[in-house]
Amino acid sequence: MDKLLTINNLNVDFTLRSTTLRAVNNVSLSVNKSERLGIVGESGAGKSVLGFSIINLISKPGRIASGTVMLQGEEISSYTYEQMRQIRGNRISMIFQDPMMTLNPVLTIGEQMRETINAHASMSAADVDAICLEKLRKVYIPSPEKRLDQYPHEFSGGMRQRIIIAISLLTNPSLIIADEPTTALDVTIQAEIMDLLLELCETEHMGLILITHDLAVVSQVTQRIAVMYAGSIVEQGATEQLITNPQHPYTKGLLGALPQRASRDGRLNQIPGVMPGLAKIPEGCSFRNRCSLAADICLTQPVLEEKTSGSQVACHMVK
Amino acid sequence: MFAFTVRRVAQAILVMLIISFIGFSIKHNFGDPVRELVGERVTPQERAEIREKLGLNDPFLVQYGRFLQSAVHGDLGRSFFFKKPVTEVILAKAPATLELVFCASLIVIGLSIPMGIYSAIHPKRFFSRLIMGFSIVGVSVPVFLTAILLIYIFSVELGWLPSFGRGETVRLFGFWDSGLLTRDGLLHLIMPSIALSSIMLPLFIRLIRSEMMEVLETEYVKFAWAKGLKPRRVWYVHAFKNTLLPVITVGGVQLGIMVAFTILTETVFQWQGMGAMFIESVSRADTALMVSYIVVVGFIFVVVNTMVDLIYGIVNPTVRIAGRK
């Protein structure tokens, strides 16, 4: 299979006054051409930082400390600012969490679409408009000609997310990074948006990195899942396998906490404790303080390796 | 937009009514128009007759109504010192003040926008820290001190710029004495404009900087970066356009306040404008002139603010929608 994106041993640090916090810890993963990968984890696990670090757009004072990001064989993590700018929104597009906040309130939809094309290509205004309309139709925006001159406040949340998806399609990217694209929407709209994303990825042959805490969503859309905990990937494998046969105690805990999987009269499973803050990650296995299987060996850091189930798991206790 | 405009103008008229009411109350309570008219050597009976004839014994509101009626026709009374209608006196002085405010506003707008944007985009650079340091000094030093300092340096020590007056002026349209069209007039304008802008410029820089820094942290700016836009486009179109909204609202009021601030500047530079005139009219207890100054300045203030609101409506699409309904 062709590798679309490969991340090797990526570390992202946030340097504060006195300390350096590691938000992404030695993460390696890859996405094949037109493959859909889910990154799952609790809030603060480092999923979003990982997503933004791919296009080197981490909020200050975060920075990539080491590791490489390869896009279709090119090492984009060593690119200059201008080279990276030409990747952003062009070969890799992003979709953000809250569509109410993502569009600029004082610019029309048309302006916000056209500028994306103009930032990456030079073509006539008529051609630009034709592409904008084509993409708006793709996301099922009715009468797109009228919509171009409207402002974001004239759209509902679901419509805005469609427009944002249309913006992300403008340059025919090979990869879309969707950072919790449905979290801010209500449940019925969530399903519509996820269906749309899935459909577009298939018809346009795009790769997708879906960052979410919603296991139900991720299991329906993606082909592979990486589970993140406290900045590291603890388990990675094919979606089907990971959902039906989770190996890492944390993944088991996450799945056990899903209401639709629990029996009617049983109590919902909870993972005891909370995820540690970045400053308080224990040495060795970062999950050991919450883990029922923890033993002395867990004081040394486990490596992510393939286990008998077929998934890659970072746990000493899994065979 | 039309309904919005109508509503804003109606509000402006209401504000003007309140200002005129306050102005009239001052006039009613502090001045004695009979003394102004006839002086000391008139018997009490004659005074009483004149009072009756002028309608000064009528109820307060009736007199206010009469004041309003003549004010609408441009008659705000007579200055007892100049022996002329006050509107004539003010009209003769207004160009000096308005030109001064205009030049100071140009300095404020022309410098605060680039400086504010620069220090917001590069908050840690040396030049930004320099701007911020100077702006604190600028805000804290009072206008008259800045003015005297400027005179000391550029007029007394270096002898480059004239220290007082308007210099050579040109009469336009038969009533407007302009200093903007002669070299001498422009030279005379430099220091007063700088002195007048010395308070507003730092305020504007700080306002633009803090608003812009806030906007740069928003999701839509982050999305603009993620779309791969060039930095110029993100800063000047995405961020600055949103920065403008609060700056226009606050800034409009501040520019209006500058009209009132001219009192100090005009006094120091002996600038023959409305501010200096107001100080003189206070010392002469020329109530008609004082009141008309208040009403005229209030009028300018209201006009500026109304225009600012209309501009705001053009920049902000949500306001326009609200007005369309």
The CATH number of the domain holding residue A190 is 3.40.50.300
Domain, as residue range, for A200: 3-222
Residue of B nearest to A85 (CA): B228
A-B contacts (CB, under 8 Å): 79
B260 located within any domain: yes
A257 located within any domain: no
- Strands ordered across the beta sheet of A74-75: A20-32, A3-15, A62-71, A74-75
> Is the pLDDT at B123 greater than 60, yes or no?
yes
Share of chain B above pLDDT 90, in %: 10
Q: What is the band of B223 on the pLDDT scale with cuts at 50, 70, 90?
A: very high
B194 located within any domain: yes
How many structural domains are present in chain A?
A: 1
Residue of A nearest to B312 (CA): A106
- Show the tokens assigned to A313: 């798991």
Helix (H) or strand (E) holding A233: strand A232-238
Q: Does A58 touch chain B (CB under 8 A)?
A: no
pLDDT digits over B234-284, tens only? Answer: 999 899 988 888 888 887 778 778 887 788 888 888 888 888 888 888 887
Of residues B42 and B132, more confidence is placed in: B132
Of residues B103 and B84, more confidence is placed in: B103
d(CA A24, CA B325): 51
Give bridge partners of residue B58 from the DSSP assignment.
Answer: none
Lowest mean pLDDT among A185-189, A285-289, B187-191, B311-315: B311-315
Q: Which of A90, A96, A106 sits opposite B223 (nearest CB)?
A: A96
d(CA A256, CA B293): 77
**B233 and A94 in contact by Cβ < 8 A?**
no
Mutation to test the B interface, candidates A58, A60, A82, A104, most B Cβ within 10 Å: A104
d(CA A86, CA A245): 41
Contacts of A57 in chain B (CB under 8 A): 222, 225-226
Name the 3-class secondary structure at A277.
coil
One-letter amino acid identity for A85?
Answer: R
- Show the tokens assigned to A64: 């990539």
Category of A182 on φ-ψ map: left (φ > 0), alpha (ψ -120 to 50) or beta: alpha
Residue of B nearest to A167 (CA): B227
Beta carbons within 10 angstroms of residue A7's beta carbon: 20
> Is the pLDDT at B80 greater than 80, yes or no?
no
Contacts of A88 in chain B (CB under 8 A): 225-228
At residue A209, the pLDDT reads: 94
Of residues B130 and A267, more confidence is placed in: B130
Cis peptide before B123 (omega within 30 of 0): no
A279 located within any domain: no
Residue of B nearest to A96 (CA): B223
A305 located within any domain: no
**A101 and B220 in contact by Cβ < 8 A?**
yes
How many structural domains are present in chain B?
A: 1
> Is the pLDDT at B311 greater than 90, yes or no?
no
**B226 and A57 in contact by Cβ < 8 A?**
yes
> Is the pLDDT at B324 greater than 60, yes or no?
no
Contacts of B315 in chain A (CB under 8 A): 106
d(CA B22, CA B236): 44
d(CA A181, CA A264): 30
**B315 and A55 in contact by Cβ < 8 A?**
no
Residue B243 distance to chain A (closest CA, Å): 11
At residue B111, the pLDDT reads: 92
Residue A233 distance to chain B (closest CA, Å): 25
Could you tell me how many residues make up chain A?
Answer: 319
Mutation to test the A interface, candidates B212, B214, B215, B220, most A Cβ within 10 Å: B220
At residue A167, the pLDDT reads: 93
At residue B319, the pLDDT reads: 66
pLDDT digits over B17-76, tens only? Answer: 888 888 888 777 776 666 666 666 777 787 777 777 777 777 778 888 888 888 888 777
Lowest mean pLDDT among A163-177, B118-132, B159-173, B254-268: B159-173
Q: Does A101 touch chain B (CB under 8 A)?
A: yes
Residue with tokens 């060593």: A78
At residue B145, the pLDDT reads: 86
Q: Mention every residue, 6+ apart, whose C-beta is less than 8 A from residue A218.
A: A38, A40, A210, A212, A225, A239
- Helices (H), strands (E): how many in chain A? 11, 12
d(CA B80, CA A66): 83
Category of B228 on φ-ψ map: left (φ > 0), alpha (ψ -120 to 50) or beta: left
Q: Does A116 touch chain B (CB under 8 A)?
A: yes
Q: Does A104 touch chain B (CB under 8 A)?
A: yes
Domain, as residue range, for B157: 87-274
Contacts of A157 in chain B (CB under 8 A): none
Instruction: Kindly state the DSSP code that residue B224 receives in the 8-state scheme.
Output: H
At residue A95, the pLDDT reads: 92
Q: What is the band of B325 on the pLDDT scale with cuts at 50, 70, 90?
A: very low
Residue A55 distance to chain B (closest CA, Å): 8
At residue A94, the pLDDT reads: 93
Beta carbons within 10 angstroms of residue B276's beta carbon: 22
Residue A199 distance to chain B (closest CA, Å): 22
At residue B40, the pLDDT reads: 66
At residue B141, the pLDDT reads: 86
Residue B230 distance to chain A (closest CA, Å): 7
Q: What is the CATH number of the domain that holds B99?
A: 1.10.3720.10
d(CA A296, CA A291): 12
Q: How many CA atoms lie within 13 A of A198 on its CB side?
A: 15
d(CA A116, CA B228): 7
Could you tell me how many residues make up chain B?
Answer: 325
Mutation to test the A interface, candidates B124, B218, B222, B223, most A Cβ within 10 Å: B223
Residues B1, B322 contacting (CB under 8 angstroms)? no
**A101 and B241 in contact by Cβ < 8 A?**
no
Q: Given the DSSP bridges, would you call strands A175-179 and A207-212 parallel, antiparallel or unpaired?
A: parallel
pTM of the model: 0.80
Share of chain A above pLDDT 90, in %: 36
B40 located within any domain: no
Q: Mention every residue, 6+ apart, whose C-beta is less than 8 A from residue B149.
A: none
Mutation to test the B interface, candidates A106, A132, A167, most B Cβ within 10 Å: A106
Mean pLDDT rounded to a whole number for chain B? 82
Q: Does B238 touch chain A (CB under 8 A)?
A: yes
B321 located within any domain: no
Residues B208, B182 contacting (CB under 8 angstroms)? no
Contacts of A90 in chain B (CB under 8 A): 228
Residue with tokens 């707008």: B109
Residue B321 distance to chain A (closest CA, Å): 9
C-alpha B229, offset from chain centre: 40
> Is the pLDDT at B177 greater than 80, yes or no?
no
> What are the angstrom distances between the C-alpha of B137 and each of B103, B111, B131, B250?
22, 16, 10, 21
B20 located within any domain: no
d(CA A278, CA A22): 7
Residue of A nearest to B230 (CA): A119
One-letter amino acid identity for B198?
Answer: S
Contacts of A106 in chain B (CB under 8 A): 241-242, 245, 315-317
Q: Mention every residue, 6+ apart, whose C-beta is less than 8 A from residue A8.
A: A28, A67, A68, A69, A70
> What are the angstrom distances between the C-alpha of A22 and each of A14, A54, A55, A309, B301?
6, 16, 18, 30, 55
A92 located within any domain: yes
Residues A235, A229 contacting (CB under 8 angstroms)? no
Contacts of B220 in chain A (CB under 8 A): 101-105
Phi, psi of A228, deg, nearest 5? -105, 140
Q: Does the structure's ipTM exceed the value 0.85?
A: yes
Beta carbons within 10 angstroms of residue B93's beta carbon: 23
- Show the tokens assigned to B100: 């001064």
Instruction: Kindly state the DSSP code that residue B151 receives in the 8-state scheme.
Output: I
Contacts of A108 in chain B (CB under 8 A): 317
Q: Mention every residue, 6+ apart, whose C-beta is less than 8 A from residue A256.
A: A262, A268, A269
- Which residue numbers in chain A have pLDDT < 50? none
Instruction: Kindly state the DSSP code that residue A87 receives in the 8-state scheme.
Output: H
